[in-house]
Amino acid sequence: MGRLLLIIGIFFLVWVGYRFLKNTWSARIKAIEDQEPKTSSQQHKIQNIKACAYCKTHIPEDEGITRDGLFFCSYQHLDSYLEHKAK
């Protein structure tokens, strides 16, 4: 009977240990996965600074608008540029 309890105790400890490790590792992997896209998007932003074709302001490419190969900081400047060009 004592041996059975010992075996059950060992299984319980292994199970608790397994669950603890599994939670720790999944939390770590999740933390790493959460960090990676942020870092790559930050590098992406730093690498792709473009000048607005209208006001020449330099802003990250993914925050502006690209139209017909030209880059604009806002839709307002896209419209202003097209109006100016049309005249």
The window from 9-17, 18-26, 59-67, 71-79 that contacts Zn ion (CB under 5 A) reads 71-79
* Helical H segments across 1-87, by residue range: 2-47, 75-86
Question: Please, what is the minimum distance in Å from the beta carbon of residue 82 to Zn ion?
Answer: 13
| Distance (Å, whole) CA 33 – CA 36 | 5
Cα-trace Rg, the chain: 28
Nearest residue to Zn ion, by Cβ distance, number only: 52
Q: Return the residue of 50, 52, 64, 78 that touches Zn ion, per CB under 5 A.
A: 52
* DSSP β-ladder status, 70-72 and 65-67: antiparallel
Kindly tell me which of 14 and 49 has the beta carbon lying closer to Zn ion: 49
Record the tokens describing residue 1, joined without a space. Answer: 């009977």
Q: Is 55 a residue that touches Zn ion (CB under 5 A)?
A: yes
Q: Which range touches Zn ion (CB under 5 A), out of 6-14, 18-26, 51-59, 79-87?
A: 51-59
Query: 58 near 51, Cβ under 8 Å?
Result: yes
Q: Which residues of the chain form contacts with Zn ion (CB under 5 A)?
A: 52, 54-55, 73, 77
